[in-house]
Structure 1
Amino acid sequence: MQFYNLGLIIGLSVASGPCILLLVLGALLISRHLKQRKARALREKFFSQNRGQLLKQLVSHRADIAERMLISLEELEKATNNFDQARRVGGGGHGTVYKGILSDLHVVAIKKSNIVVKREIDEFINEVAILSQINHRNIVKLHGCCLEIQVPLLAYEFISNGTLSDHLHTEEPRSLAWKDRLRITNEIAKALAYLHSAVSVPVIHRDIKPSNILLDEALTAKVSDFGASRYIPIDQTGTATAVQGTIGYLDPMYYYTGRLTENSDVYSFGVLLVELLTRRKPSLYRSSEGDGLVMQFLTLLAHDNLSEILDPQVVEEGGGQVKEVATIAASCIKLRGEERPTMRQVEMTLEALQTPNESVSELIEETNETMNYPRTNKRAKQGESSRCYSLEEEVLLSATYPR
């Protein structure tokens, strides 16, 4: 009897083993299927949500763009080896940038946000809406976006040589050659002039600074980071917005009025010119009198003593062009926006500086008069006041803006 029971147990065990194994495998397959189904549903939810926002942004422009710019999550995972840390090429507190190769063999930089907040999503969608309609050699190209994740992923052309800030603020005593600095400023001016006046609906960048200017292997400038950018309808002279920008580059009038115009980009560009001339960071610099970089630059320019703050390499290599660029910068950072030149005027003047012919000086002088540039001769120094601005205006310019 005992042998019979033992045999029965063994027989049942042998017979039920495959059944249990099948049950376990079945449970695993069902669980995997449910996870895949849930993930697919989530991706479809995010796609619908993000695509809806994108289409809303594009509804008055080119709605078809939303379709041709789409890249699947699977494609981007394959391009980055599932976002392998070895493919990480940059990033900070707000996001990470990965290098990847798409199936069409385009090398791209894939921007992935670390923060899941509505503002981040809005900025990503805004960037897609703007960059998908722009085609300029000095503006970073957007290859597409992935909307199947909570915060969309953006795939740009990969620019391999870092930012203008990286090249400018090195530990080395020498930085970019003067001829490269002059050409780079002209390329940035061309890009901004294009955004302000050559696209169907003008675009204000709102965050022009060296860290948002990418450089390729030939040191060609590419304006990037359009998350804070805004459209300004042609029939409007400006628009009221929540203030966005970076301390030191932010237009004081925009900061205090909340009214955004093309002049705000002009001011930021002027600060960038000052930074290129001095290799000083506007957010960190303070003179012995407590003045910020912009105020100190203007004071020294008015006293014809700019060499005190200029990068020695600029003094050595720039010659007479330095004075002209400094004058352009001073015009761009005038307190009143309506007194600043347009980016088109700035572009023309910088272009003239690089044109090797006898009429350059006349063209620069003619453009300067059109822009009403401040003069830096003895009469300016010996006038009723040696200050470029009133005390009230100086306070505005040298203040540390609370954010």
Structure 2
Amino acid sequence: MLSKLLYFLLTCLRKEEKYALDNGSKLLEDLIASCDGKSNPIRHYSADELIRATNNFHPSCLIQGFRPHAFRGSLDSRLVIIKTMEAADEARDEAIRNIVISVQMSTHKNVLKLLGCCLEFPLPVLVHEYATQGVLNMKGGLGDDEALPWKTRIRIAKQVANAITYLHTAFPRPIIHRDLRTDCILLDEDFVPKLCDFSWSVTIPPEQSHVKDIVKGTVGYLDPVYVKSASISEKTDVYSFGVILLVFLTGQKPFKQNQRGSYEYEDFIPYLKLQLACEDQIQAIVDPKILEKLREGDEEAQQQLHEFLSLALSCTQLEIEARPDMIDVAKELVRIEKLSSHSSLA
């Protein structure tokens, strides 16, 4: 009798209310599990508010470079990013996971702050602070082909490393991002990086160093050990971050394209190592736009480039044990950044 009454009541609810009830119960469950019942309050926006803010999600409001989709909108007289999900079997769980981790990480200055969410759509929609400069492209720059100064690239790398270190160490159990890539980094008006997209993040179980899960991530950035073993650890993120460092150094996409037009993602790092071995000089792989600023005989700048490369290659070692911990990567980037104070690349 009670079940029939409950069914009757649910059928009387508006469609938006059904979505909110379903999504809200799952969100609450995940918040309790991940935050020990403690978290920052999450503002709830109505579907009508987001529809008005984006002119009914008009294509003219789309933000280029975001995956899967993000729209520019205005709420409470401020620009915001409104992030939607594409329909897929696990899309709801991924959106809620993104909300849960973003809530915990939003106090970090190098994480894209979550302002709230809307549960009244079939899939939860996230509302983030706005980042004026936009999303980094696959070459580590902005827009179609705007390269960033070398000094800016190092600072971005250092600050993103701090955010990942926080993700790994600030909570009772380490959280692994699992999908680190250049286009999950946005820049605000002062070119301060903001890490985002925790949809595929996983938490390491108590008293364990890794967790098994199906392979997810972005080709080109995927740790080969993880691909073969489905085992995720902190070193999985270290590898992907190492690829980001190589993208910053080379100005190249993390994959090659063959003559048939398909992508050979796995060739990027071996290709760079082969160039270094054959040419025996770092200039063979460094972004020409960086080298344009390099004065002949500037040993300080040469040292900085070499040590940045050494760190990137250390992060992308095939042997997990040979990779540094993320906290040590962050410390090393602080040291490397200081080498540029008097160089021609400053």
Which TM-score band (shorter chain)?
A: 0.7 to 0.9
Residue 309 in 1 paired to residue 292 in 2? no
Structure 1 runs not aligned, ≥5 long:
1-36, 359-403
Alignment partners' CA distance in 1, 2:121 and 2:277: 54
Residue 116 in 1 paired to residue 87 in 2? yes
SS for the counterpart of 2:18 is: helix
Alignment partners' CA distance in 1, 2:164 and 2:226: 18
Which residue among 230, 246, 267 is the counterpart of 1:292?
A: 267
Could you tell me whether the CA contact under 8 Å between 1:314 and 1:322 is conserved in 2? no
Amino acid across the alignment from 2:242:
G
Residue 150 in 1 paired to residue 128 in 2? no
Q: Paired residue for 1:255?
A: 227
SS for the counterpart of 1:132 is: helix
Instruction: Give the Å deviation of 1:129.
Output: 1.0
* Pair 283,169 (structure 1): closer, same or farther in 2 beyond 3 Å: farther
* Pair 83,147 (structure 1): closer, same or farther in 2 beyond 3 Å: same
Q: Paired residue for 1:238?
A: 210
Instruction: Give the Å deviation of 1:91.
Output: 6.6
Instruction: Give the Å deviation of 1:64.
Output: 5.8
Which residue among 125, 128, 141 is the counterpart of 2:96?
A: 125
Could you tell me whether the CA contact under 8 Å between 2:210 and 2:232 is conserved in 1? yes
Q: Deviation string for 1:88-129 (max 9, x for gaps)?
A: 33477x7432222223x442110123x333311111011011
Could you tell me whether the CA contact under 8 Å between 2:53 and 2:74 is conserved in 1? yes
Q: Paired residue for 2:16?
A: 43
Q: Paired residue for 1:192?
A: 164
Instruction: Give the Å deviation of 1:323.
Output: 0.2
Could you tell me whether the CA contact under 8 Å between 2:73 and 2:81 is conserved in 1? yes
Superposed, 1:354-373 pairs within 5 Å as: 354-355=337-338
Could you tell me whether the CA contact under 8 Å between 1:285 and 1:292 is conserved in 2? no
SS for the counterpart of 2:127 is: strand
- Identity, % of aligned pairs? 34
Looking at secondary structure, tell me which structure has more helix per residue.
Answer: 1
Amino acid across the alignment from 1:277:
L
Could you tell me whether the CA contact under 8 Å between 1:141 and 1:157 is conserved in 2? yes
Superposed, 1:16-31 pairs within 5 Å as: none
Superposed, 1:62-81 pairs within 5 Å as: 62-63=36-37, 65=39, 68-81=42-55
SS for the counterpart of 2:115 is: strand
Whose relative contact order is higher, 1 or 2, with alpha carbons under 8 Å and at least 6 apart?
2
SS for the counterpart of 2:137 is: helix
Tell which deviates more after alignment, 40-49 or 120-129: 40-49
Provide the TM-score with structure 2 as the length reference: 0.83
Instruction: Give the Å deviation of 1:264.
Output: 0.5
Could you tell me whether the CA contact under 8 Å between 1:164 and 1:213 is conserved in 2? yes
Amino acid across the alignment from 2:268:
L
* Pair 49,91 (structure 1): closer, same or farther in 2 beyond 3 Å: farther
Q: Paired residue for 1:18?
A: none
User: Of the two, which has the highest radius of gyration?
Assistant: 1
CA root-mean-square deviation? 2.8
Residue 346 in 1 paired to residue 318 in 2? no
Alignment partners' CA distance in 1, 2:268 and 2:68: 30
Amino acid across the alignment from 1:160:
T
Structure 2 runs not aligned, ≥5 long:
1-9, 259-263, 295-300, 342-346
Alignment partners' CA distance in 2, 1:213 and 1:349: 20
Amino acid across the alignment from 2:97:
N
Alignment partners' CA distance in 2, 1:39 and 1:225: 35
Could you tell me whether the CA contact under 8 Å between 2:81 and 2:129 is conserved in 1? yes
Which residue among 61, 64, 75 is the counterpart of 1:87?
A: 61
Instruction: Give the Å deviation of 1:296.
Output: 2.3
Q: Paired residue for 1:380?
A: none
SS for the counterpart of 1:160 is: coil
Could you tell me whether the CA contact under 8 Å between 1:54 and 1:66 is conserved in 2? no
Alignment partners' CA distance in 1, 2:75 and 2:340: 45
Which residue among 101, 125, 133 is the counterpart of 1:161?
A: 133
Q: Deviation string for 1:366-401 (max 9, x for gaps)?
A: xxxxxxxxxxxxxxxxxxxxxxxxxxxxxxxxxxxx
* Pair 148,91 (structure 1): closer, same or farther in 2 beyond 3 Å: farther
Amino acid across the alignment from 1:78:
R
Alignment partners' CA distance in 2, 1:195 and 1:117: 26
* Pair 357,182 (structure 1): closer, same or farther in 2 beyond 3 Å: closer
SS for the counterpart of 2:256 is: coil
Residue 52 in 1 paired to residue 28 in 2? no
Instruction: Give the Å deviation of 1:38.
Output: 7.7
Amino acid across the alignment from 2:333:
L
SS for the counterpart of 2:126 is: strand
Amino acid across the alignment from 1:294:
I
Alignment partners' CA distance in 2, 1:245 and 1:140: 20
Instruction: Give the Å deviation of 1:198.
Output: 1.8
Q: Paired residue for 2:255?
A: 283
Q: Deviation string for 1:202-228 (max 9, x for gaps)?
A: 211111111111112221111111111
Alignment partners' CA distance in 2, 1:285 and 1:267: 22
* Pair 39,143 (structure 1): closer, same or farther in 2 beyond 3 Å: farther
Could you tell me whether the CA contact under 8 Å between 2:42 and 2:115 is conserved in 1? no
Could you tell me whether the CA contact under 8 Å between 1:55 and 1:66 is conserved in 2? no
